[in-house]
Amino acid sequence: MCGLVGFSGEVIDRDTVIQTMTDRITHRGPDSRGVYTDADIAMGFRRLSIIDLNQGDQPIYNEDKSLVLMFNGEIYNYRQLREILAAKGHRFYTQTDSEVLVHGFEEWGEELLNKLRGMFAFAVWNTKEKSLFLARDFFGIKPMHYTTVNGHFVYASEIKSILDFPGFGKKLNKNALNNYISYEYPVPPETFFEGVYCLPPAHYLWYRGGKVETHRYWEPKFAPDDSMTEDQAVSEIEKVFEDSVAAHRISDVEVGCFLSSGVDSSYVASYFTGQKTFTVGFGRDEKYNEIGYAKELSQKIGVEHHSHVITPEEYWGNIRKVQYHMDQPLADASCIALYFVSKIASQSVKVVLSGEGADELFGGYNIYHEPDDLAAYQKLPRGLRRAIAAFVEKLPFSFRGKSFLIRGSKTVEERFIGNCSMFTMREKHRLLKEDIPATAPQLLTKPVYDRAQGLDDVTKMQYLDINVWLAGDILLKADRMSMANSLELRVPFLDRRVFEVASRIPRRLKVNRQNTKYALRKAAMRHLPETTAQKKKLGFPVPIRVWLREEKYYNIVRQAFTSKTAEQFFHTDALVDLLDAHYHNKRDNSRKIWTIFAFLVWYDIYFNGVSHEPGDMPIVK
């Protein structure tokens, strides 16, 4: 796992600029540094050595050095591709997977991408044609960002490197704040920095002749096969997942595994006999601490278990550091927990496997039950349901079933914007200052839903989550929090071969009255205790709701909500009302509060110069 940066053209003191940009992401690759420059481009690289420890430094070249490669990620089928390329006459000088990319690109060009199995973001400079090629993996596991500055094309694994480029004018993208208030995360391809973009998953980019062109090379299309039996589904899942885990364990260093009490990471860990697992939790309440479950499972499957209980002081004291490493505000409270589990893992191993992606591929989120829950009510005439919803929405009080009546009046395209949905349009207009856009989130999801026509509602929800939520939240925090600790995180569920199986699983074997991820759980039961395989999904529970009802943390957030920073973007009286209602136990506003608070902390780091180092609780200006 590594980091890369670069820019086109000549700039004053170019060597210092590329060094500064590269060193900004030393945490992504503390083992070595590489630079390539010519009259037209400067490229920088930081390496975390995983495969071919002695000869895998970058840049990597083809035989005549007409192609220059810098690469972040792992290619799991590189040995097979190497054999094919060698048979075609390509000469290899290292044992690293990186070299397969440069020869593969020379041989196949853009078609190389669909031959790969792995996670990747890489850059190839053609010294003869003066063209730059960037590519990002199928699901968006590895990041890539880019912009143009005064005629220079600038790219980097993390946005913080782009900010170091001379002449870059740092300006908040207010539309990103608009989307964030709905989704709790920055929605690609826009970022919170005006003019800086995220290359979407499964896309490549050409920069040539001063022009930028992006293209999609793959799409995760679902085609449920209703003729598939339960036994067929379970056996296919078991076979392909075993193969994926074996591929993801290829390494010249020790590989460990994150472990919670859930089926996803537990299924991964079941292949780790004799190695190490890592878990974090909060306090002693099993609702927020899965260490006991993980320790018990580790003993059963024969692995060495490491754990850490995160104190409230540790959690709040590292909020600034986490938001700095995220590059953009993320209101997923579990990202700080992920930072800590990455930290303890990095003390023992360089690589870990984790369970991200299983929910999106196999139907694991509890919200995927909603189409079944609403089915009977939605048999009523649509006009009647909409009239009921319009009436109850105007009521000034909440009651049990109010949300059901409102959501039941809508189609899945209208009600589901992804796994996370924060503020309603009415709330956005009440909170945001007039100069901040407040558009309906459905404008963003409509093009995605348009590509999912003909699928059942559960599969439409999966498709939306894979295309928006997965890259925008789950994989963003996985990459940033692991890399903040110089740790490579691999995700064996997010493998093209695994998806090929998952895409054919019929709805009844994904989400039914018995459970979510039905077929996957059945496959896991062949390797795990039934209690683990069937355990209800918890996510990564963090006691934010509890802490925000304690005076100490209430006061920290209240100070942020009444700060000058908050006044720039929000009606602060509305923010305080939101906080007070939660503090006095009138309603659970914890996730909404955290969404605003995370943004304010992030903004002060990137725009007001507040230190991101751990220490006292964050004070927002």
Q: Which residue has the tokens 């903040």?
A: 484
> Tokens for 100?
């397969």
The reply to whether 420 belongs to the active site is no
- Residue 62 CA to residue 104 CA, distance in Å, equals 10
Burial class (CB in 10 A: 0-12, 13-18, 19+), 376: exposed
The CA distance from 406 to 233, in Å, is 36
Contact, 540 vs 294, CB < 8 A?
no
From CA 578, how far away is CA 590, in angstroms rounded?
9
3-state secondary structure of 331: coil
Closest CA to 159 of 118, 208, 194, 116: 194
Task: Output b/e per residue, 229-241; b: 16+ Cβ within 10 A.
Answer: eeeebbbbbbebb
* Helix (H) / strand (E) containing 4: strand 2-8
Instruction: Give the separation between CA 286 and CA 315, rounded to whole angstroms.
Output: 18
Distance CA 535, CA 357 (A): 17
H-type alpha helices, 347-381: 358-362, 370-375
Q: How far apart are CA 573 and CA 579, in angstroms?
A: 10
| Residue 111 buriedness (CB in 10 A; 0-12 / 13-18 / 19+) | exposed
Residue 35, SS3 per DSSP: strand
Residue numbers annotated as active site: 2
